[in-house]
Chains A and B, each alone.
Chain A
Amino acid sequence: MSRLIVASRFPNPDAAYEALVESRRGLSEKDAAALDARLVLILANHIGDPEVLREAIALAQQTLAPKD
């Protein structure tokens, strides 16, 4: 059974998205990637569940469509 919650959990999804957008506004691609790496680590640890992490990675990979 899936442990990863994909139903929306933010009371205001638009505001959460905006916070993420603002965190990278004005950053170069490289700096944005560095920021993302830090965010991934911080949030993964906050979740602290290896199974959820694996499922999240699988979901992310599944949506990483090959470019044509």
Chain B
Amino acid sequence: MEEHKTVFRYTWRRSPDQDAASPVRHRVVVVGAGPVGLSAALDLALRGVPVVLLDDSDRIGEGSRGLCYSKRTLEILDRLGVGEKLVAQGVTWKLGKVYLGDDLVYSFDLLPEEGHKMPAFINLQQYYLEKALIDRVEEVDNIDLRWRNRVTGLERRNDYVRLTVDTPDGPYILEADWVIAADGARSALRDMLGLGFKGVTFEDKFLIADVKMAADFPTERRFWFDPPFHSGQSALLHRQPDNVFRIDLQLGPDADAEAEQKPERVIPRLKAMLGDIPFELEWVSVYRFNCRRLDRFVHGRVIFAGDSAHQVSPFGARGANSGVQDAENIAWKLAAILDGTAGPGLLDSYERECIQAADENIGHSTRSTDFIAPRSPAERALRNAVLSLAPHADFARRMVNSGRLSVATVYDSPLSTPDEETFAGSARLGAPAPDAPVRAAGNRRATLLECLSDGFELIYFRNGETPAPCGDIKLTVIGQDLHDEEGLLTARFDATPGSAYLLRPDQHLCARWRSFDSTKIAAARKRALGF
């Protein structure tokens, strides 16, 4: 039972596919129009791949909701055309404070570095993210978004998938060369394939409430261990747009989930925290958390992405963020597979990179949850020892773990060409290229990432004559096409005159050299395509 209100409603329309004499075959069907499915569909469509996007509902704004969107996710969303809008709409924050009782024990500043287009994090109700993505889907050709289309059957064939889809007008059959299962933590497609979803379930229950109030709390993440208003447990307070605040209250393992969601139980708990500030409940839910993943993300022509493939606790904002990053990872690869340019290893690299990311996220999430909700009195004693040492010792402050916030994974990937020379700087092989301020054509101030294409890109730091471009790789010459007036781009890439950096279509750095060598560049591009 969840208290909620529907925010945006959409209309089911009968698809011509429902009247076809034989099942219509599509190149890609994406199941689930949440942040992951919408991003995957948009990314594919913008790469010229037509997509059918199915969702079993016709509304957004209910159920479990994401809150914090990380810099890398915002960079992806910016590439998809909604980044600036979301940042304008969201609450930008970078400060976090951790309290023990009433005392501040630890604080952090997430983005001390200047010159990035996107902030470290924004907070935004998930329905606003989904609304923005759906608005964008409606602007883009090539996406056929079908509401109230529930997949009820899945048959895997050699080189396609046959789906049975239920609608208000009854069922129909749909065929797809590829299916992206972005149908969430309770994935029906995962069940249809009989796949195990193994991991750890944490016994502690948490109350999650969105509360509307005119409070002047500063824009920062506040986390309490053992606060005076909620003794012995933890609490989190986070600002969202529209004067809405997200509050998480730990309830312990023995809490009665049903009873704890009733307003007569919730309101006194919130009053203890908020005092006399008048507030209105927007949404309440009681959760237990899981950290788990599928063994494999790719099952023939069915590809799992986001929560259907891996699930984490919310501490660290790693759910929706890692899911959108999965969507970006599969989109360019699937587009390359469909246009015949991919090598045999490209699909495997999706699984390898995203499993690495999932394991990293599950590791962080499990450690955070173990710290916040110790599993035994003995573990709690150790946790409390860290907390009581924290005001007195730096090492203990560094151990205080209220969630380590999502950052992009540095893929240890077969697609990367190992460095032959050494590079310092913040650019890492297998990681998204760091952003930096540049001056673009027409004297326009911009940042690197917004100047990149959707394809392979070579960033070359000018050293005399401009080299000839290599095949379909877009060449961007620093000192000619873009100017690094502040020197931050050069510093972040540790560039010297003649340095060249090859970026994948998802902006990840896959090879770099101290001089331009077209043979090496061509070989690195081939490798990054899975050959």
Q: Which segment, of A2-10, A18-26, A34-42, A54-62, faces chain B? A: A34-42
User: Quick check: B389 and A42 within 8 Å, CB to CB?
Assistant: yes
Return B398 CB to nearest CB of chain A, in Å.
Answer: 9
User: Quick check: A38 and B395 within 8 Å, CB to CB?
Assistant: no
Q: Which residues of A contact B381 (CB under 8 A)?
A: 33-34, 37
Chain A residue nearest to B378 (CB atoms) is A33
Q: Which residues of B contact A37 (CB under 8 A)?
A: 381-382, 384-385
Return A3 CB to nearest CB of chain B, in Å.
Answer: 20
Contact pick for A42, options B382, B384, B393, CB 8 Å: B393
Return B21 CB to nearest CB of chain A, in Å.
Answer: 66
Interface of B, helix, strand, loop or mixed by DSSP: helix
- Does B438 belong to the interface (CB within 8 Å)? no
Chain A residue nearest to B395 (CB atoms) is A45
Bound complex: CA A40 to CA B385 (Å): 9
Question: How many residues on A have C-beta within 8 angstroms of the other chain's C-beta atoms?
Answer: 8
Return B370 CB to nearest CB of chain A, in Å.
Answer: 15
A26-68 interface bits toward B, Cβ cutoff 8 Å, 1 = contact, 0 = none: 0000000110011011100100000000000000000000000
Q: Which of A34, A37, A42 has the most CB of B within 10 A?
A: A37
Return A49 CB to nearest CB of chain B, in Å.
Answer: 13
Bound complex: CA A42 to CA B395 (Å): 8
Q: Which residues of A contact B386 (CB under 8 A)?
A: 41
Q: Which residues of A contact B382 (CB under 8 A)?
A: 37, 40-41
- Does B396 belong to the interface (CB within 8 Å)? yes
Q: Which residues of A contact B395 (CB under 8 A)?
A: 41, 45
Q: Which residues of B contact A34 (CB under 8 A)?
A: 381, 384-385
Bound complex: CA A41 to CA B386 (Å): 7
Interface of A, helix, strand, loop or mixed by DSSP: helix
Q: Which residues of A contact B384 (CB under 8 A)?
A: 34, 37
B347-390 interface bits toward A, Cβ cutoff 8 Å, 1 = contact, 0 = none: 00000000000000000000000000000000001101110110
Q: Which residues of B contact A42 (CB under 8 A)?
A: 389, 393
Bound complex: CA A42 to CA B385 (Å): 10
B383-412 interface bits toward A, Cβ cutoff 8 Å, 1 = contact, 0 = none: 011101100010110010000000000000
Q: Which residues of A contact B393 (CB under 8 A)?
A: 42, 45
Which size bracket describes the interface of B in this complex?
A: 10 to 19
Contact pick for B388, options A33, A38, A40, A45, CB 8 Å: A38
Bound complex: CA A42 to CA B389 (Å): 9
Bound complex: CA A45 to CA B393 (Å): 10
Return A33 CB to nearest CB of chain B, in Å.
Answer: 6
Q: Which residues of B contact A33 (CB under 8 A)?
A: 381
Return B517 CB to nearest CB of chain A, in Å.
Answer: 40
Bound complex: CA A38 to CA B399 (Å): 13
Chain A residue nearest to B380 (CB atoms) is A37
Chain B residue nearest to A30 (CB atoms) is B381
Q: Which residues of A contact B385 (CB under 8 A)?
A: 34, 37-38, 40-41
Bound complex: CA A37 to CA B399 (Å): 14
Chain B residue nearest to A45 (CB atoms) is B395
Bound complex: CA A56 to CA B381 (Å): 20
Return A7 CB to nearest CB of chain B, in Å.
Answer: 26
Bound complex: CA A45 to CA B395 (Å): 7
Q: Which residues of A contact B399 (CB under 8 A)?
A: 41
Q: Which residues of A contact B388 (CB under 8 A)?
A: 38
Chain A residue nearest to B396 (CB atoms) is A41
Bound complex: CA A42 to CA B394 (Å): 11
Chain A residue nearest to B398 (CB atoms) is A45
Bound complex: CA A50 to CA B239 (Å): 38
Bound complex: CA A57 to CA B55 (Å): 51
Bound complex: CA A37 to CA B384 (Å): 9
Return B88 CB to nearest CB of chain A, in Å.
Answer: 44
Return B383 CB to nearest CB of chain A, in Å.
Answer: 9
Return A36 CB to nearest CB of chain B, in Å.
Answer: 9
Chain B residue nearest to A35 (CB atoms) is B385
B457-468 interface bits toward A, Cβ cutoff 8 Å, 1 = contact, 0 = none: 000000000000
Chain B residue nearest to A37 (CB atoms) is B385
Q: Which residues of B contact A45 (CB under 8 A)?
A: 393, 395-396
Return B351 CB to nearest CB of chain A, in Å.
Answer: 30
Q: Which residues of A contact B389 (CB under 8 A)?
A: 38, 41-42
Bound complex: CA A33 to CA B377 (Å): 11
Q: Which residues of B contact A40 (CB under 8 A)?
A: 382, 385
Return A37 CB to nearest CB of chain B, in Å.
Answer: 4
Return B142 CB to nearest CB of chain A, in Å.
Answer: 51
Chain B residue nearest to A39 (CB atoms) is B385
Return B248 CB to nearest CB of chain A, in Å.
Answer: 26
Bound complex: CA A18 to CA B38 (Å): 66
Bound complex: CA A40 to CA B276 (Å): 43
Bound complex: CA A41 to CA B392 (Å): 13
Bound complex: CA A41 to CA B388 (Å): 11
Bound complex: CA A42 to CA B386 (Å): 9
Return A27 CB to nearest CB of chain B, in Å.
Answer: 14
* Extra A-B contacts (9), CB below 8 Å, given A34-B384, A34-B385, A45-B396: A33-B381, A37-B382, A37-B385, A38-B385, A38-B388, A40-B382, A41-B395, A42-B389, A45-B395
- Between A and B, 12 residue pairs with Cβ closer than 8 Å are A34-B385, A37-B381, A37-B385, A38-B388, A38-B389, A40-B385, A41-B385, A41-B395, A41-B396, A42-B389, A42-B393, A45-B396
Could you tell me which A residues sit within 8 Å of B by CB distance? Answer: 33-34, 37-38, 40-42, 45
- What 4 pairs across the A-B complex have the smallest Cβ distances? A37-B385, A45-B395, A38-B385, A37-B382
